[in-house]
Amino acid sequence: MSFHYYPGCTLKTKAKDLDECARKSAEALGVPLIEWEEWQCCGTVYPQAQDEIATRLAAIRALDEARRNGSDLLTICSACHHVMKRINRDMQTNEDIRTKANNYLALDTPYTGQTRVVHYLEMLRDTVGFDELRKRVLYPLTGRRIGAYYGCMLLRPSKEMQFDDPENPSIMEDFLEAIGAEPVRYPYRNECCGGYVALEEAALVGELCGKVLDSARQKGAEALITACPLCRYNLRKNGSKQDMPVYYFSELLAEALGVNRTNTEPVRLEK
């Protein structure tokens, strides 16, 4: 089963690691990711107003392309996933948006949300299976205490995202366990990092990230993982002072599978 892979803007620029590790790992796991060359930015924020049609179109094009190929659309970046999932749901359930968007796009067959939007982590869980992943791990991250940072976009609103329990999620912890690490559950793992007000409300973002990092440290985490470039940026910017490395989950996956960029001896993450 192959996936229609939608990387999104940041994964091709500032978050190349996230993208590259994810693709290489998928290859190693035998899951073909086929990237549509003509993808465009998803819009990064989900347009919450009912009358915003144009801002939904880029996402719908990508979703429709996946439908044409008859495959599920796979995303990694939390923001892309959030936008794709919710707009897809709009196309399934909101008749007004569906009609207007289809009128704009004038597709041969109207798009009505037929595509399934899958996050990379869901692919690991449901397509590969965490048990299978555990078997494929060559370099388990044994003894490493790692906290998962979910942030907002993957989980909320849970009725639409249907990703995990919004208040007590576990998919990243299960992932960490599968690659041999010791997951650290901490209460602020689903609280906001400050998102895009980072530029003008540095103090607020500092405060919010500080709380997340502090909470993780209290529970014994030595590093964090995330799926979102923005979260990682915010946490790193504020966390560097706090001596808490923040990785993309795919970096650790690549690490555990031994598919790092250098094809020599795998670089073990420093303890």
- List residues binding other proteins (CB under 8 A): 8-10, 13-15, 41, 43-52, 55, 77, 79, 95, 98-99, 102-103, 106, 110, 152, 155-159, 165-168, 185-188, 191-192, 194-199, 201, 204, 207-208, 215, 218-219, 229-230, 233, 236-237
Token pair of 236 as six digits: 């790193």
Q: Please name the residues in contact with 271: beta carbons below 8 A apart, sequence gap of 6 or more.
A: 143, 144, 222
- Name the minimum Å distance from CB 224 to other proteins: 16
Q: Provide Rg for the chain, Cα atoms.
A: 18
Q: Please name the residues in contact with 25: beta carbons below 8 A apart, sequence gap of 6 or more.
A: 250, 253, 254, 257, 259
- Name the minimum Å distance from CB 28 to other proteins: 26
- Name the minimum Å distance from CB 39 to other proteins: 14
- Name the minimum Å distance from CB 181 to other proteins: 20
Residue closer to other proteins, measured from CB, 2 or 55? 55
Nearest 5°: the CA angle 209, 170, 270 is: 60
- Name the minimum Å distance from CB 51 to other proteins: 5
Residue 33 belongs to what H/E stretch?
strand 33-35
- Name the minimum Å distance from CB 103 to other proteins: 6
Nearest 5°: the CA angle 143, 206, 75 is: 60
Residue closer to other proteins, measured from CB, 138 or 197? 197
Burial of 187 per CB tally in 10 Å (0-12, 13-18, 19+): middle
The amino acid that residue 135 corresponds to is: K
* DSSP bridge partners of 72: 3
Among 67, 84, 123, smallest CA distance to 6 is for 84
The amino acid that residue 255 corresponds to is: E
